[in-house]
Amino acid sequence: MKGLESRVALLVDAPNMYGCCFSEISNTASKYGFLDIKEIFFNKHASSKLNEAAINNGYRPIVNSIEDIDCSLAIRASEIICSPRFNHIQRLALASNDGDFCPLAYLARDYRKEIIFISHVNDPTSQALMHVGDFHETVISKRFDYKKYHKT
């Protein structure tokens, strides 16, 4: 790691990034600096194989017992943005297509942190995400078969 390289926290909304390759998401985020935090949020339908795939790609899996993970992801992102514990993080990379996360970009700006939105090319990306973030990236890969690891 270079001495002056930015430190990045990567948070992935797994249900919203359906079909994406975990490594491609992290490779995309790593263009913006050293990935200090790599967390992926799953809902209650995630299988143990999906968790294992996340761990094998260097992520800390966070499994919620509810359908929607938006609230827990937003709370974690707010903690990283606002808490003095994370002053070393300059950028927050959020992999999601969900426009509900737009307020995080405003919060990040208030705390002088940049936000990178990473979206999936095969899903309709929220136009708002493309405009409120400091950076926007698109992940094209379909190598990871999310359905294969998802409980039915």
**Structure confidence at residue 1 as a pLDDT band (50, 70, 90):** very low
In the chain, where the domains are located: 7-149
User: Beta strand pairing status for 114-120 and 135-139?
Assistant: parallel
Give the dihedral of Cα atoms 12, 16, 21, 26; nearest 10 deg. Answer: -20
Half-sphere exposure of 109 (CA within 13 A, CB side): 8
| 64-78 per-position pLDDT tens digit | 887 788 999 999 999
Distance, in Å, from the CA atom of 95 to the CA atom of 97, rounded to the nearest integer, reads 7
**Structure confidence at residue 144 as a pLDDT band (50, 70, 90):** very low
Q: Which CATH superfamily, name and number, covers 7-149?
A: 5'-nuclease (3.40.50.1010)
Residue type, 136: H
Q: CB–CB of 144/20 below 8 Å? A: yes
Mean pLDDT, residues 103-110: 94
pLDDT above 60: residue 62: yes
| 90-99 per-position pLDDT tens digit | 999 999 988 8
Q: Any alpha helices (H) in the chain, and if so which ranges? A: 22-30, 48-56, 70-82, 102-110, 127-132, 146-149
What is the pTM (predicted TM-score) of this model? 0.87
| 34-59 per-position pLDDT tens digit | 999 999 999 888 888 888 999 999 99
What pLDDT does residue 148 have?
A: 52
**Structure confidence at residue 108 as a pLDDT band (50, 70, 90):** very high
